[in-house]
Amino acid sequence: MVFAAEDLKRAGFYHDNARRATLQKQAGDLVAYLASLDMTIMFQPFDSTGRARIVQLINKSNQYNLTTRRYTDPEVTDAENDPCVFALQVRLADIFGDYGIISVVICRPGEAGVWDIDTWLMSCRVLGRKVEHTVLGEILRQARAAGIRKLTGTYKPTDRNKLVAGHYAKLGFTKIGEEGSGQTCWELLVEGREPESAPMKIVSQGLPPAEENSSS
């Protein structure tokens, strides 16, 4: 059957989620549960291997998507090859399986010393794992390595992304503007900021060495 492989994949995902729910009940609290998942998060720049999935996520993610900007394959390739753009793909795995690419971030240069978060999206399958905190930690590490002093970001509300209305506030950003449409602008000073940690192994591949990583 045409859909047999996809049906099996979906069934496997639901089965693994049921096992995660059982483990969460046994763990008792969130920190213990997250630790018991033995998660590994991997950060990589955009590349040809992940490009098709990156494009798919950018064009289909609606709920956990701060701006819902859409980009074509050539536009993603341009971001991948632009040395001034920080383009990050994020993968996650736990003891039950590999989620593949679950988050995409694109930071573009703003005024001197500023990265503007053009795109930040995440799969809803990994909500409640503190993935966004860990992703911010990597953005901050790479920003410091690049001499960036401030991050800015925008939340553009839609009918589908109310889930992330409090995203930047939760991560410690300061609101610096709001429009009648509900669009809000945020900023975060890079120096001395470290987001809440999450119990997961962090692996960086193909990224410029960051100061914190080089001393560990």
Encode pLDDT of 137-152 as tens digits: 999 999 999 999 999 9
- What is the pLDDT, as a whole number, of residue 210? 59
Asked if the model's pLDDT at residue 4 lies above 50, the reply is no
Q: Does 133 lie in the same domain as 100?
A: yes
78-107 pLDDT, tens digit each: 999 999 999 999 999 999 999 999 999 999
**Which CATH number is 122's domain given?**
3.40.630.30
Asked if the model's pLDDT at residue 39 lies above 60, the reply is yes
Q: For residue 95, what are the contacts with CB-CB under 8 A and spacing of at least 6?
A: 36, 37, 38
Torsional class of 130: left (φ above 0), alpha (ψ -120 to 50), beta (otherwise): left
- Residue with tokens 């632009």, as numbered in its chain: 82
d(CA 25, CA 29): 8
d(CA 214, CA 211): 5
Asked if the model's pLDDT at residue 35 lies above 60, the reply is yes
Q: Does 97 lie in the same domain as 9?
A: no
Q: Does 10 lie in the same domain as 60?
A: no
- Maximum CA extent, the chain: 55
Residue 3: pLDDT band (50, 70, 90) is very low
- What is the pLDDT, as a whole number, of residue 212? 45
Q: Does 180 lie in the same domain as 94?
A: yes
Range of the structural domain that residue 6 is part of: 1-36
Rounded to the nearest 10°, the torsion over CA 68, 176, 178, 89 is 10
Q: Does 132 lie in the same domain as 60?
A: yes
User: Structural domain tally of the chain?
Assistant: 2
Asked if the model's pLDDT at residue 216 lies above 80, the reply is no
Rounded to the nearest 10°, the torsion over CA 130, 134, 139, 144 is 130
Residue 12: pLDDT band (50, 70, 90) is low
Q: Does 58 lie in the same domain as 152?
A: yes
Q: How many CB atoms lie within 10 A of CB 42?
A: 16
Q: Does 86 lie in the same domain as 32?
A: no
Q: Does 45 lie in the same domain as 27?
A: no
SS3 of the chain: helix, strand, coil, percent, to 5: 35, 30, 35
Q: Does 32 lie in the same domain as 45?
A: no
Q: Are 41 and 205 in contact (CB under 8 A)?
A: no
Asked if the model's pLDDT at residue 41 lies above 70, the reply is yes
Residue 198: pLDDT band (50, 70, 90) is confident
Q: Return the H-helix or E-strand segment holding 53.
A: helix 51-60
Q: Does 100 lie in the same domain as 172?
A: yes
Rounded to two decimals, the pTM is 0.85
Q: Does 49 lie in the same domain as 12?
A: no
Tell me the one-letter amino acid at 85. V
Q: Does 82 lie in the same domain as 179?
A: yes
Asked if the model's pLDDT at residue 70 lies above 80, the reply is yes
- What is the pLDDT, as a whole number, of residue 27? 53
